[in-house]
A = this chain, B = another copy of it.
């Protein structure tokens, strides 16, 4: 709803349209009770309904946020605060609420848990993923105790693209709850623990049906969906109690105060619909590109390890095989993550960038830190702390010729960088 729309004369109804509510917002505020506000409110409700349909949830279970980081914070901090308000610590024998998560979660989950621990609001257990990057649900099961309030496991990893067994974890949690109920260990109506998944990277390629997934909380971010606005979504099952972490108005069921970012929310709901509609087709297309890229990478690696071609390449690299990071089967179709031992990934990112190829070495949210990716170190504890991994992530515009060019340039860059690994 642009300002010019608001101020224009409505000729059909022969009535003027005069906007004298600039203090509410320079464009109509969905919380305003006048006509333009109501129109905005209806648009907001329709967007909420659309997202709810895609997630197979009720519309009251969809909360629009400012982005993925905020969705994760509202989910995790909000749950802990809500349980505190319900004075559940009495049930826990004065123990703090306990959260279980993994060692390769996004910083917006991992750091949020750590902040709660630091502020003595929660106790956390960080479960390690396997060497292929996948979490073993049994390891999570072992950590669950009476005061466990939340299990938070991402749907797909942002760096190495592995897909976590969300349904299996959900099933395990349901089994635990059932057994616990029989033993009458909890008197409260709230059945613990709740299950949260950060689905930011999964959004374009995986099923988001929250019923089938079996999650209580699910986070999405517009910045990972093409043509979506810069907003986020938190799905919150009705039974999951959340307290507000912000002070302010009553927007978004009181959980996300502040004028709703309607223009971006509308873009988000349309883009999410489109992404989910195209996901099967796009998955097949990208899987082919992924397979092709991996084949080319392996060939490139074998060339480097071929003695007859030794002249053109660095001698040390021969003994340091390229590593493909993360499970090759259970992974997103748009992600390839590779480590070239002895070559810092940051250096590769910069070299490729000068040739016009934009890739990354770790979560952008961690890019200002000197250390290499904590995700790569989690799956390969012996890896050099400076090396990390090189992530190629595809989207709708990625073509086979992009990959051919990338492999060609990567080859040149590796040869150019031989000084690095020869001296190493």
Contact = CB atoms under 8 A, between A and B. Distances in A.
Interface of A: 3-4, 6-7, 10, 13, 15-26, 28-29, 31-37, 66-70, 72-73, 76-77, 81, 106-116, 119, 158-159, 161, 201, 221, 223-228, 230, 244-251, 257-259, 261, 263-264, 334-335, 346, 349-350, 352-361, 363-369, 391-398, 402, 405-406
Given A16-B356, A37-B364, A334-B22, A109 B224 contact: no
Contact of A224 (B23, B392, B393): B23
A56 to B, nearest CB: 25
B359 A230 contact: no
Given A346-B33, A353-B35, A393-B21, A247 B364 contact: no
Contacts of A365: 31, 248-251, 257-259
A230 B265 CA distance: 11
Nearest to A405: B16
6 contacts: A6-B358, A17-B358, A23-B158, A26-B223, A108-B249, A223-B259
A226 B3 contact: yes
Task: List the 8 closest A-B pairs by CB distance, nearest first.
Answer: A249-B365, A112-B247, A66-B66, A69-B258, A23-B393, A111-B247, A22-B395, A34-B353
Contact of A20 (B114, B263, B394): B394
Nearest to A353: B34
Contacts of A201: 23
A13 B355 CA distance: 10
Nearest to A112: B247
A389 to B, nearest CB: 12
A83 to B, nearest CB: 13
Contact of A259 (B34, B67, B119): B67
Contacts of A368: 31, 250
A406 to B, nearest CB: 6
Contacts of A16: 355-357, 402, 405
A226 B27 CA distance: 8
Residue of A244, A259, A369 with highest tally of chain B CB at under 10 A:
A259
Nearest to A17: B356
B259 A367 contact: no
Contact of A364 (B26, B223, B249): B249
A29 B69 contact: no
Contacts of A355: 15-16
A251 to B, nearest CB: 7
Contacts of A357: 16, 18, 20, 34
B32 A360 contact: yes
A22 B393 contact: yes
Contacts of A245: 245
A15 B356 contact: yes
A67 B70 contact: no
Contacts of A263: 230
A249 B107 CA distance: 6
